[in-house]
Structure 1
Amino acid sequence: MKHNSVTRRLVATAAAVAIGTLGLAGCSNDDDNDNTSAVSSAVSGAVESGTSKAESAISSAKSEVADDDKKVELTAPDGAKVTLSGSIAAKYDSATEAQKADLGKPLIGPEAAGEGENGVVFQQFEGGVITAKDDDADTPAYITWGKIRDAWNVPRNEEGAPSPDGKGGSQGPLGVATSDETEKDGVKESTFEHGKITWTEATDKVEVTVDGKVVPTE
């Protein structure tokens, strides 16, 4: 109903402009037939233009709604259905087949998905986690896994040192992920709001950096 109203308003506006043109043409006594033909073309063109613009606006609105309502349905290890939405769904939908395979199936339960105290949303999988700063479909989300994820989840104090009273993951001093895992010369790296974590495959060494300072891993 809203889209039809938009179309009617745009067409009405176009017609009003054309009628105004007709009024001006009627002031002249010369070439009446030519004026009538020109006005007829103007009316037709204005209406078609208004309709085209309205249809374009409707198409754009439908596209935005589709993006906002994006959902992805997956199956948990126990066969339960899991529905991803917003930024998490958008990230999973855009992931490569290799990333999806490494992530595995989504986990369920109170600690498997939801929103943290800082507004960060997350979904845990068998092989990793997807996180984003909020649930808006346009908010970038990232995948974190492996040894880097393990080090990120270690409870740490504000300086980044491991502490049983500290916080881990996006709630900890490193903050939310700001990249997927990248690899260069055998070193894998994920960046976070306040630092980075690297893992060197050849030596199996993990290095955690918080606010520019290397801190103990665990």
Structure 2
Amino acid sequence: MRTIASTRTAVVAGVAATALIFAGCAKSDDSTTSDPAATSAEVSAAPTPEIPSSLAESASEVAEPTEVTITGERDVEVTLTGPIAARYSSATEEEKTALGLPLTGDRNAGARESGMAFQQFQGGVITAVSEDPGSPAYITWGKIRDAWNIERAADGTPDISGDNGSVGPLGAPTSDELTEGDLKVTTFQHGKITYNPTTDVVEVTVNGNVVPSGL
């Protein structure tokens, strides 16, 4: 009986020792292994750094200039404003060269009764839908501008007693000069004008009908 008791005691002691070893291992593991839930909570609790608004804005969203002062004829300074100033600032060197110097005088700048703003240059004109900031503005120049300035009857045919420009049958420009194949094209409220630099031919279309250019 003593032998059996000793054997049982030894077995119990062995089991207890084994339990202590496993308990120690478990504590050791807990001290070195991070709890995913706790880690997630810590990450969520971390403050989110603020991004300066200046960096958050796109580089393309640069404020358009509200005024641009350039030298006109006879060294007279001309101040462009609103959408006219913005369009001139964004013009390519080719467009600025084609436009030339701005013209002065009330007849060469201002706004029409329709609200269209304009600034005449030696070789072209900049027009805007209105003087409101952000209004679309376009450059019209060269042969296309010459054909647009021809006095026309209501049907678009040249007529010295008719109207020209934005008050004529074509209306105001709705695009800059575009390139379509061999042609230069500008669209207007009621038509379009095309110019072929190779053949020097200008074609005027008013309300879907081709009419003489008048040039």
Q: Which residue of 2 aligns with 1:182?
A: 178
Q: Which residue of 2 aligns with 1:157?
A: 153
Q: How does 1:1-150 map to 2 (within 5 A)?
A: 67=64, 70-150=66-146
Kindly state the Cα deviation for residue 184 of structure 1 after the two structures are TM-superposed. Answer: 3.0
Q: Which residue among 197, 213, 217 is the counterpart of 2:213?
A: 217
Kindly state the Cα deviation for residue 166 of structure 1 after the two structures are TM-superposed. Answer: 1.2
The alignment-based identity, stated in percent, is 53
User: SS of 1:111's equivalent?
Assistant: helix
* Residue ranges of structure 1 left out of the alignment (5+ in a row): 1-44
CA distance in 2, matches of 1:156, 1:118: 19
Runs of 4+ in 1 over 4 A off after TM superposition: none
Q: How does 1:190-209 map to 2 (within 5 A)?
A: 190-209=186-205
Q: Provide the alpha-carbon RMSD of the alignment.
A: 2.8
CA distance in 2, matches of 1:102, 1:155: 23
Highest CA radius of gyration, 1 or 2? 2
User: SS of 1:197's equivalent?
Assistant: strand
Deviations 1:168-202, CA, capped at 9 Å, x for gaps: 01111111111111223321111111100011122
CA distance in 1, matches of 2:191, 2:176: 14
Deviations 1:21-53, CA, capped at 9 Å, x for gaps: xxxxxxxxxxxxxxxxxxxxxxxx9xxx9xx9x
Letter matched to residue 97 of structure 2: A
Aligned residues: 169
Kindly state the Cα deviation for residue 126 of structure 1 after the two structures are TM-superposed. Answer: 1.3
Deviations 1:143-172, CA, capped at 9 Å, x for gaps: 001111010011112111111221101111
Query: Which structure shows the higher helix fraction?
Result: 1
Letter matched to residue 163 of structure 1: D
User: SS of 1:108's equivalent?
Assistant: coil
TM-score (norm 1): 0.68
Kindly state the Cα deviation for residue 90 of structure 1 after the two structures are TM-superposed. Answer: 0.8
CA distance in 2, matches of 1:132, 1:158: 23
CA distance in 2, matches of 1:160, 1:203: 23
TM-score (norm 2): 0.69
User: SS of 2:146's equivalent?
Assistant: helix
CA distance in 2, matches of 1:97, 1:145: 14
Letter matched to residue 132 of structure 1: A
CA distance in 1, matches of 2:194, 2:99: 19
* Residue ranges of structure 2 left out of the alignment (5+ in a row): 1-46
CA distance in 2, matches of 1:208, 1:97: 27
Kindly state the Cα deviation for residue 105 of structure 1 after the two structures are TM-superposed. Answer: 1.2
User: SS of 1:137's equivalent?
Assistant: coil
